[in-house]
Structure formats: C-alpha cells, structure tokens
Amino acid sequence: MEGQGRETFALELDGIVKRYGNLIAVDGISLRIAKRQLYAVLGPNGAGKSTLISIAMGLVKADSGHVRLNGASEAAGLSQVGLCPQELVIWEGLTVWEQLLFMGSMHGVQRTIARRRADELLEALGLMDKKRVMASALSGGMKRRLNIMLALMHDPSVVILDEPHAGLDPQSRIWVRDFLKNLSADKTVIVTTHDMEETEKIADRAVIIDRGRVLAEDTPSNLIRSVYPAHLLELSLDGYGSQAEEITKLLAAGFPGLMQQGRMLRAESDNPLRLAGQIRERLTLAGIRDGNGEIRIRNANLEDVFIAMTGRGLRE
C-alpha cells in the first residue's frame, strides 16, 4: 500500500493519541484504510476500538494526531461517512419508514431519492413488510437492522459499524453478514468487533488492537499464517482428572513446544499426526491411560492469533 495515492484511502489515522486521566485509550495509532473493502478493527473490550472510531468521526477530540476522511480533513469528509453505533440508536416513536426518511432529510437527501433509498435498504435488510411498523414494536434483531439502515440513508462512501453483530439472532446475523459483504463492493465498510469468527468470514483486512496499540494488521489469512504457519495440536486435560498436573510436567519436559493455556496443552506443528503419536507413546510409557479424543488437530484461527499476541482470551 506504500505506493498508493492519498485519494485511494477512505480513512487515514496518523499518530492518534487519546488519554483519559492516567489511562491511555489510544496510544499513537496510525492506520490507512483503502477504499471499497471490508475492514475489521479487532480487539477485546477496552482495547480502544470505540475511542478510535469516535476520534475518526470527530465525536471525540484526539490529544494528538491527524484524521483524514477520503483524503480531506475530518470535518470536510464527515458528510460521506455513516456511523452505526453499537447501541440501538433509533426513534422508538416513529415508524421504520418515517425515521428512514427523517434521517435522509437530516442529511439533505432529496425526498424522492430518500424514498428510493429507503425502499432499497428495506429490501436488502429484509424489513420491507415492517415499513409501517413503529420501531418500538420491532424485535431486537429487526431494531439492529434498522440501526444499520439509518447509517446508510445518505449513501455514504464510508460506513463505520460498531459491533454490528452484537445481539443478533442467527437469521439476522446471516442477513447482516451478506449485506455487509455486498456493501463493501462499492463502499468502504469499517467494522469494529471482537467476533473473530465473523471477521474471518467477511473481512478483507483486519487490524488487531489492544491497550490502545496496533498489534498486527493484514488480511485475516495472512494474520493467521504469520503467527501459526502450521497446524495446531491441542490436548485437553479435562479427561485426566487428578493426573492433569503430572501430565503437564511430563510432556513439558519432553515437548518444549507444548504450551499450557488453561486446561489445554497446545503446540504448533508441521506434522501434527506424528506429534500426536509421540505424545500418546510418552503417556503410555508413563503408565497414563490415553484419554481417547482428548488430542485434537485443527487449523489456527484469528482468536488463536490474538491469544498468541496478547496472552489472554478475547472475551475476558
């Protein structure tokens, strides 16, 4: 991306710092997010994701650093940005249709265009039959979808969604996943989330943030490969009862790559089947019964990457 011109970036953050008293919420983050892609900002609660987005939107003032939206200053580019907050921000006393048109008018969209746009969004997010229903009467998942629609009424080129999957039922999750993927065909979609599974499915690129700093930034598959180029072998200690501690000591001595993470021993291996055989052999020699099924071989995922980077689970 080094060679790309400034006009190709939807959002540029340069050396952003934000402190709240002694707490450094954002610690010198610099990011360049290219246009027309789905970009995920990952991190656990309190990582600084929402603060970073608020700074990008001009809702919170950074202590230092610069923000550019579509190559322009933040204030000038703001009209091209749509924000879908994590909380449900809807007008309960208006119908779905009324508030879509209201939001369009607030952004200066002509009424005929706003009507067409509202119809498109209702169709795309499966709420056409709820058009005349009061927002207060919608289900939780429907309200979430309406929350997203309201951010899109003025047809922004950059859409920022804060935890769009939170509180969604499986049906709504699929709707939103497909919708966001389609949306990123001609818009820049920035999603903050700590849902790694969803990110792997839809994101073009992802950044992992923790304690206000960027830990890694790449495509999801590259992120995984950079940390876990091989397969993962996991041995669950749950089936061994009081022998768990003895097994941990025994295997740690024989297999230096095997790391304990909670009630799990985990190792990365190019040949996990051979490693599994060696572990079973060692356990048999030590007179420990091989707990059938306790050894599992799988591909690494983004959550593994995060754990490897920060040493703690994402949902702590």
Partner 1 sequence: MRFLVYTRKTLLETARDWKLLVFTLLFAPCFVFILYGAYGGGNPAFNIAVYNLDRQAGGSHGAGIVQALKEAAYSNGDPQFRIVLHESGSEADSLSLDSSIKKLEKRKLDAVLVLTGDTSKVIQTAAVCERAGVLQAPYHIYGDPLNGRYALAAIYAAAEVDRYVQKMTPIRLPLTLDEQFVGSGVSLSDFDQLMPGLLVLSLLNVLFTAGASFIKEIEKGTMLRLNLSLLRPREMIGGISLIQLLLGLASFALTLSAARICGFEWRGSVVAVLLVAAVSLLAVLGLALISVSFMSSVFDVMTVGMVPYFLVMFFAGLFFPLTAIELFSIGDSAFRLNDILPLSLSVSALNQALFFERGVYEIHMELLGNLIVACLYFGAGLWLFRRRHMTSR
238 binds partner 1 (CB under 8 A): no
Applying CB under 8 A, the span of 52-60, 166-174, 192-200, 290-298 interacting with partner 1 comes to: 52-60
Question: Which C-beta is closer to partner 1: that of 53 or that of 202?
Answer: 53
| Among 23, 75, 113, 137, contact with partner 1 (rule: CB under 8 A) | 75
Give CA separation, 158 vs 33, 125, 162, 176, 217, in Å.
10, 18, 13, 17, 19
79 binds partner 1 (CB under 8 A): yes
Applying CB under 8 A, the span of 2-10, 51-59, 117-125, 197-205 interacting with partner 1 comes to: 51-59
Question: Which C-beta is closer to partner 1: that of 150 or that of 209?
Answer: 150
Question: Which C-beta is closer to partner 1: that of 144 or that of 266?
Answer: 144
Applying CB under 8 A, the span of 38-46, 72-80, 254-262, 296-304 interacting with partner 1 comes to: 72-80
| Among 15, 93, 140, 313, contact with partner 1 (rule: CB under 8 A) | 93
Footprint (CB under 8 A) of partner 1, residues 142-201 = 150, 154
Number of residues in contact with partner 1 under rule CB under 8 A: 26
Question: Which C-beta is closer to partner 1: that of 62 or that of 208?
Answer: 62
Question: Which C-beta is closer to partner 1: that of 98 or that of 204?
Answer: 98
Footprint (CB under 8 A) of partner 1, residues 96-125 = 98, 102-103, 105-108
Question: Which C-beta is closer to partner 1: that of 114 or that of 267?
Answer: 114
- Using CB under 8 A as the criterion, which residues of the chain lie in contact with partner 1 when the complex forms? 57-59, 75, 78-79, 81, 83, 85, 87-94, 98, 102-103, 105-108, 150, 154
